[in-house]
Amino acid sequence: MEVILKEDVDKLGHRGDVVKVAQGYGRNFLLPRKLAIEATAGNKSVIEQMKSSSVRRSAKEKGDAELLLQQLEQIALTFTRKTGDNDHLFGSVTGGDIAQGLEAQGFQIDRRKVHLEEPLKSLGEFLVPVRLHREVTAHIKVTVSKEADVE
């Protein structure tokens, strides 16, 4: 099945590309989520218009992402978590936690844009990548410290 991508899809293609996908993937995932449209003769003529508007939109989004990058590079987030013996963390710091920390500082970042290989499960400082645009990635300094013991 051939489809025209309306949005960037990881490991498949970028907006405006015509790609071949399996019937089930196209019908059950891409089309219902409005990530793609079927590549019919009529839709193929619309591709050119989509591509030109896509280039303009992408340039604007990249410019906005670069401005946001400069602001985010200055941000440092600190999370306190309970620890047990040998400074073992109870729980972890996830991408959702980082997105909430950024939201508390006035930045609306979707948690799916925070790219953690796995949740942070140890104390220390980490540089966490936040993908703002396909070509722009910010690195936020995240510190995980232990909660003060209350006795």
Taking all residues of the chain, what is their mean pLDDT, rounded to a whole number?
86
| pTM, full prediction | 0.65
What is the tally of structural domains in the chain? 2
How far apart, in whole angstroms, are the C-alpha atoms of residue 135 and residue 44? Answer: 27
Same domain, 56 and 96: no
User: What band does 88 get if pLDDT is binned at 50, 70 and 90?
Assistant: confident
Residue 39: which of 77, 93, 1, 87 has the closest Cα? 1
How far apart, in whole angstroms, are the C-alpha atoms of residue 110 and residue 98? Answer: 10
Q: Which two tokens stand for residue 138?
A: 């910010």
Same domain, 96 and 137: yes
Range of the domain at 134: 73-146
Same domain, 86 and 136: yes
pLDDT digits (tens, 9 = 90+) for 113-138: 888 888 888 888 999 999 888 888 88
Same domain, 110 and 142: yes
The whole-number pLDDT of residue 150 equals 52
Same domain, 40 and 81: no
Is the per-residue pLDDT at 21 higher than 90? yes
Same domain, 58 and 98: no
Same domain, 93 and 119: yes
Is the per-residue pLDDT at 6 higher than 70? yes
CATH code, domain with 124: 3.10.430.100
Residue 67 inside a domain? The answer is no
